[in-house]
Amino acid sequence: MAKKSYPELPKPGTIVISKKSLLQQLQLVDADNARRERVLRLETAFRNKIDPHITALPAGSAKFRKFSTSPYVLLIHARQNQYTKISEIESDILPAKLFSSMETSAGRMIEEVVIPEYGWSVVPSEMHTANSALDGKRPGPEVLQLVTLKSGPRCLNDEMSENFADAIIGNYHEWSRESGLTHIDFTYGVLYGTQKMSNKKDWHILRKIKEKRANSISISPDHQWSCQFRENGITVDVAVRIGLDWWNHLGGELCFIEVFTALIRACINPGLSDDRSHNYIISDLGDIVNTACIQEYYNVSLLQRSQLPWLFLIGRHFCDSLSD
């Protein structure tokens, strides 16, 4: 069956981040006492979450069934690497499971650590309640800001998109009643990525709202990543905010650099870094982490020189192109 096309689907632009801009933002945070203290608070909170999680990850006593491996993938991977020993494939199974487990836990960590730091409240997502689709909220004088967070840009399928649309339509009245506010700003937030990286299922949340509330739509989602409907005296803005767009919405332009400086400090110890001549297997990785653009006099207290390639590597997850 042919895949249905949607001419109203927005065409995402190309997001370019420069290493120079990342370094400049890091300097701004480093020079501001309040922001620097925030980074240190976040670092401590991240480490307090990460270290117990690491100890809970699959260990030598874990049973094979916990790794949810595919027999087809195992054999194809073994062929690709010319493995003959089971021990060789075993050494690859564990990291794959760890990455999957860590991505799931990362979303919860962001909810519990970062949202409160920027003035939002964590919402307990109890099943089958008006809050089951929510992760955070921030009531203002006139607008109730709500957010649901997803760990990456390809987390949704068609059914999940429709479920989110139904959750917004079905619960906006209760959210308004509980807060006493008649203007709701709902964000579907994605913790990293760009609009280009998205599988676009997130945008289909907006399309479904338009379909289900055709008579109430006041701002159409056609060719954009947001919409608005008005019903029962309540205005509901819904936006898909991916990567940098989400972090800017949460805490302003420097929020991204604050959060990920804290995460790098929590996870990466200062030490030796790869030589510039190191030949990475991933063809463009050397360009991504290359530090030739850093001036000799560049110096900040929050990150050491050996940690700066990690900042560039992280930054690449939030753009379509990373330049010097």
Q: How far apart are alpha carbons 224 and 131 in whole angstroms?
A: 26
CA distances from 155 to 14, 193, 197, 198, 265 (A): 21, 11, 11, 9, 28
For the entire predicted model, the pTM comes to 0.88
pLDDT of residue 75: 80
Which CATH class name applies to 16-251? alpha beta
The token duo for 149 is 């967070």
pLDDT of residue 60: 57
The pLDDT tens digits for 34-43 are 999 999 999 9
CA distances from 272 to 275, 306, 307, 308 (A): 9, 6, 9, 12
pLDDT of residue 1: 44
Average pLDDT (74-81) is 84
Would you list the DSSP string of 53-79? Answer: HHHHS--TT--GGGG---HHHHHHHHH
The pLDDT tens digits for 168-212 are 999 999 999 999 999 999 999 999 999 999 999 999 999 999 999
The pLDDT tens digits for 83-94 are 888 888 887 877
Average pLDDT (278-303) is 92
The token duo for 38 is 């925030």
Q: How would you classify residue 97: left for phi > 0, otherwise alpha for psi between -120 and 50, otherwise beta?
A: alpha
